[in-house]
Amino acid sequence: MQFETKTAIIVRKDLETWQKLNVTAFLMSGIIAEHPDMIGEAYRDRDGVLFSALSRQPVIVLAADGATLGKIHRRAFDRGVKTAAYIEEMFSTGHDDANRTVFESYGIDDARIVGIGLNADRKIVDKVTKGAKMHP
């Protein structure tokens, strides 16, 4: 099935594995909050046990260096694509309010982005994420 939109998460490739997983989870939650229609129906196994619903469409996870992430961040902003973003300084906070406070300290040109998530038209996502590679 071909989707009109594409969901991509791009993480900085030099992060520790736990950081990549943490950032990916946070960014996906932001994408789903922005696009709740992405969630499908709950899953049920043959015994009738109900499981949580998942995303209706695939999510591509890409990796990039810091400079490329900065370019991706700028391209998304310039095209008016709303993103979920995670900055390096958020690793040192312990909760959402602290994350917001540290996030407010940076702007589009000086944020030390370690991850970006977006859902938009397929062609736009491909253009915005140019330079990122499939996560190994």
pLDDT in tens, 17-33: 999 999 999 999 999 99
pLDDT at 1 over 80: no
- 99-113 mean pLDDT: 94
* Boundaries of every domain in the chain: 5-130
Distance in angstroms (rounded) separating the CA atoms of residues 8 and 115: 10
- Residue the block writes with tokens 């309010």: 97
Tell the CATH superfamily of the 5-130 domain.
Bit1 (3.40.1490.10)
Q: What is the pLDDT of residues 56-71, one digit of tens each?
A: 999 999 999 999 999 9
> Can you tell me the distance from the alpha carbon of 14 to that of 86, in angstroms, rounded to the nearest whole number?
15
Average pLDDT over residues 98-114: 95
φ and ψ of 135, to 5 deg: -65, 135
pLDDT, mean over the chain: 96
pTM of the model: 0.93
